[in-house]
Amino acid sequence: MSEIKIYSAVVCPYAHRSRLVLQEKGIDFDLIEIDLQNKPEGFTDISPYGKVPAITHGEHRVWESAVINEYLDEVFPHPPLLPSSAIGRAQARIWIDFANTRFVSAFSNLLRSPDPQKQEEAKHELYKHLEFIENEGLGKLSGEGPYWFGESISLVDFTFYPWFERWPALKNYRGFGIPPEFTRIRQWKHALKERTSVQAIAHSQEFYIERYAKFAAPVAV
């Protein structure tokens, strides 16, 4: 039995984040899949919010994906997934916060809203966030490297990537693909897709299109 247990749900992008970190670090773990529509008795003893991901590490429990990921990076420091400098770590946390408070909500609003006007507003907002990532994030921090901070993969990359793996569902149901002018984002996504840790738990476009059908109706033709 592994020292780490992660409580996950296959469709959940937040749980996907923490599973990517576990894979990247080569940490042995037990995966416990939770049916979020039929949560097992006692699950809130592990995850007080009743959400995934949550982990147990021996006697300890940690929940919230961003907190889990920093915990894993501290307790299992090799390979490190945060920059070594204080300013680098601050920049990483800024982008993780941007993902959690701005990017993810725009993605979710576009996918879930049944109102065409609100969908257009969400498209505009999401486009602005992609533009900000392209220019202020990857354009200024990655240099010639493939990842957010250049040659080294980081928690920031794994924080954003699950939504990009799910992007085919957004394109299928809302007609919003990643605009071609965002070349740095496209290169970054390709680099992430090639990593062994990402491929180990990747799912197909069809998988996400099928799983996300309940959240959105197809674009009217």
Indicate the pTM of the whole model.
Answer: 0.94
Q: Please report the pLDDT score of residue 47 as a whole number.
A: 95
Interstrand relation of 29-33 and 4-8 (parallel, antiparallel or unpaired): parallel
Q: Which residues of 125-154 are buried (b: 16+ CB within 10 A; e: fewer)?
A: bbeebbeebbeebbeebbeeebbbbeebbb
- The class that CATH gives domain 4-75 is alpha beta
Tell me if the domain spanning 86-216 has CATH number 3.30.1220.10.
no
Whether 52 contacts 14, CB under 8 Å: yes
In the chain, what are the domain boundaries?
4-75, 86-216
Whether 20 contacts 68, CB under 8 Å: no
Q: Mean pLDDT by 10-residue block, N- to C-terminus, for the chain (221 residues)?
A: 90 97 97 93 94 96 98 97 97 98 96 92 97 97 95 98 97 96 98 98 96 73 41
Count of H-run helices and E-run strands, the chain: 12, 4
Q: What is the set of active-site residues? A: 12
Q: Please report the pLDDT score of residue 217 as a whole number.
A: 63
CA distance 118 to 114: 8
The closest alpha carbon to 65, from 101, 27, 15, 9, belongs to 15
Peptide bond into 53 cis (omega under 30): yes
